[in-house]
């Protein structure tokens, strides 16, 4: 346990809540979840499951109807052919990822994790006895991991490459060309599997287009675990439903672990997820269009703020902004801002705006802002950020 760090995002959210409870007016752009309510029809499906007595244990890998709906979506959206016994439903994508790593890592096995990244990956790798091999993509103009970086990082002990597209926290989306190039190098290293975390699949902004490695390189299909879920796309974070699609042998091993731990996610949540995946999908466009407008707005404001710069992300509801130009400056009360952690802490404590320090995503010198907040909240946060950065600029002069 000494090697495993607690979730830093959750720590920032907890500090924000504590300040709010004390009566401080905080604008939080820390959320890793949509600010929308779960669509009514999905909630009603959950209620109907309760009323209809569908409240007993389900199969470990999830109810068949839900697994069939997942298979149907993989076919419709990406022409991918899976069977229900290649699908496992768990308590969020997080449990699916944990199961996969617990099922496959021997002590000392390596997992390549391109960074900036969602820090759960390296921490769960360690929890499963493996070694995270962090590859820094922070200085790349696109934040994307390249075949050359893979070639330098791969060893005979590499078990997995983690590919998160769209990426939390950068919002980078791997396009068809990126994936074709990665597939080429992966073919030369057949001992490496790929964990494709596609949880933000539905949050990609045109002209960018989502692409799935399994569809681009069908010959690699049996080395790929697709991870996805309903949390982000359908505003269902609290329902805890995620899923994996991969080869039967892997899914079976993951089911053994899940069967001896949580068994399965709530039966009620599974019926709600079935409605999300097989029912009316019109909320997806509404959510995406809303996030897109907010993305454009927040990126404009950040780039107009003294000392901050950001690239416009192609997906997710996050933007990673560089604050490196502000580091080394002092606040008006003499506090040194030497790191993104200092900066984020000062923003929260002195200006009431909560963001997550980039260090939490292995992105030092940056902050992550979530635009899963109302236009009004984003505006107020940007006003405060601007005011804060201006005081730093004055101090430095």
Does 92 sit near ligand PMP (CB under 6 A)? yes
Site for ligand PMP in 151-170 (CB under 6 A): 164, 168
Of residues 208 through 237, those in contact with ligand PMP by CB under 6 A are 229, 231, 237
Q: Counting contacts by CB under 6 A, is residue 244 touching ligand PMP?
A: no
324 near ligand PMP (CB under 6 A)? no
Task: Sheet containing 309-310: give its strands across.
Answer: 309-310, 318-322, 366-370, 356-357
For ligand PMP, the binding residue among 82, 118, 143, 150 (CB under 6 A) is 118
* 363 makes contact with ligand PMP (CB under 6 A): no
Least distance in angstroms from the C-beta of 242 to ligand PMP: 4
Cβ proximity of 208 and 288 under 8 Å: no
Q: Which is nearer to ligand PMP, 124 or 388 (CB)?
A: 124
d(CA 299, CA 312): 6
Total site size for ligand PMP, rule CB under 6 A: 13
Nearer to ligand PMP, 118 or 143 (CB): 118
Q: Which of 206, 197, 190, 211 is nearest to 168 (CA)?
A: 197
Q: What string marks each residue from 46 to 85 as x (binds ligand PMP by CB under 6 A) or -?
A: ----------------------------------------
Shortest distance in whole angstroms from residue 296 CB to ligand PMP: 22
Using the contact rule CB under 6 A, the part of the chain among 41-49, 88-96, 319-327, 375-383 near ligand PMP is 88-96
Q: How far apart are CA 144 and CA 138, in angstroms?
A: 8
Specify which residues 204 forms β-bridges with. Answer: 315
Q: Would you list the DSSP string of 69-123?
A: HHHHHHHHHH-----GGGEEEESHHHHHHHHHHHHHPPTT-EEEEEES--THHHH
Report the residue from 45, 63, 70, 93 that binds ligand PMP according to the rule CB under 6 A: 93
Calpha distance 380→384 (Å, rounded): 6
Element of type H or E holding 196: strand 193-197
- Shortest Cβ 23–ligand PMP spacing (Å): 29
State in angstroms the smallest separation of the CB of 111 from ligand PMP: 15
Secondary element (H or E) of residue 342: helix 340-351
Q: How far is the CB of 132 from ligand PMP (least distance, A)?
A: 15
Q: If DSSP codes are grouped into helix, strand and coil, which group holds residue 57?
A: coil
Q: In terms of Cα–Cα distance, which of 351, 356, 358, 357 is closest to 380?
A: 351
Cα distances from 177 to residues 88, 115, 197, 203, in angstroms, run: 29, 20, 18, 19
Q: Any idea which residue has 């909320």 for tokens? A: 283
Is residue 32 within the footprint of ligand PMP (CB under 6 A)? yes
Residue numbers 249-278 binding ligand PMP by CB under 6 A: none
94 binds ligand PMP (CB under 6 A): yes
Is residue 197 near ligand PMP by the rule CB under 6 A? yes
Measured from the CB of residue 389, what is the shortest distance to ligand PMP in angstroms? Answer: 27
Please tell me whether residue 313 binds ligand PMP under the rule CB under 6 A: no
Residue 242 in the binding site for ligand PMP (CB under 6 A): yes
Q: At what angle do helices 120-127 and 92-104 cross, to 10 degrees?
A: 40
Tell me how far, at minimum, the Cβ of 115 lies from ligand PMP, in Å: 13
Stretch in the footprint of ligand PMP (CB under 6 A) among 50-58, 86-94, 122-130, 148-156? 86-94
CB 1, min distance to ligand PMP, A: 21
Buried/exposed code over 110-125 (b: 16+ C-beta within 10 A; e: otherwise): bbbbbbbbbbbbbbbb
What gap in Å lies between CA 34 and CA 231, rounded to an integer? Answer: 8
Distance of alpha carbon 30 from alpha carbon 134, whole angstroms: 24
Per CB under 6 A, residues contacting ligand PMP are: 32, 92-94, 118, 164, 168, 197, 199, 229, 231, 237, 242
């Amino acid at each position: 346990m000494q090697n495993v760090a607690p979730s830093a995002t959750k720590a920032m959210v907890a500090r924000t809540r504590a300040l709010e409870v004390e009566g401080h007016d905080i604008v939080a752009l820390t959320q890793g979840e949509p600010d929308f309510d779960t669509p009514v029809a999905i909630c009603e499906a959950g209620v109907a499951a309760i009323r209809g007595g569908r409240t007993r244990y389900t199969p470990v890998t999830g109810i068949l109807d839900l697994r069939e709906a997942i298979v149907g979506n993989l076919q419709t959206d990406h022409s991918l052919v899976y069977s229900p016994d290649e699908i496992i439903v768990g308590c969020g994508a997080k449990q699916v990822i944990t199961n996969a790593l617990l099922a496959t890592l021997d002590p000392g096995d390596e997992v390549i994790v391109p960074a900036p990244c969602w820090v759960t990956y390296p921490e769960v790798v360690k929890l499963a006895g493996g070694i995270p091999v962090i590859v820094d993509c922070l200085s790349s103009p696109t934040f994307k991991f390249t075949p050359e970086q893979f070639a330098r990082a791969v060893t005979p002990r590499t078990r997995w490459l983690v590919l998160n597209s769209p990426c939390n926290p950068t919002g980078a989306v791997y396009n068809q060309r990126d994936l074709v190039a990665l597939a080429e190098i992966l073919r030369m290293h057949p001992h490496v599997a790929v964990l494709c975390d596609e949880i933000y699949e539905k949050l990609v902004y045109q002209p960018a287009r989502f692409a799935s490695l399994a569809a681009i390189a069908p010959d690699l299909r049996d080395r790929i675990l697709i991870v996805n879920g309903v949390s982000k796309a359908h505003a269902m974070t609290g329902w805890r439903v995620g899923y994996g699609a991969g080869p039967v042998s892997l899914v079976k091993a993951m089911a053994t672990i899940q069967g001896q731990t949580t068994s399965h996610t709530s039966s009620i949540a599974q019926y709600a997820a079935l409605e999300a995946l097989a029912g009316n999908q019109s909320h997806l466009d509404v959510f995406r269009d809303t996030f897109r407008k907010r993305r454009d707005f927040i990126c404009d404001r950040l780039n107009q703020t003294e000392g901050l710069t950001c690239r416009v992300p192609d997906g997710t509801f996050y933007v990673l902004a560089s604050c490196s130009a502000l580091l080394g400056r002092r606040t008006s009360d003499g506090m040194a801002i030497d790191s993104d952690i200092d900066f984020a802490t000062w923003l929260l404590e002195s200006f009431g705006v909560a963001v997550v320090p980039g260090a939490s995503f292995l992105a030092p010198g940056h902050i992550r802002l979530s635009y899963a907040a109302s236009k009004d909240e984003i505006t107020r946060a940007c006003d405060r950020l601007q005011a804060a950065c201006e005081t730093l600029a004055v101090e430095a002069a």
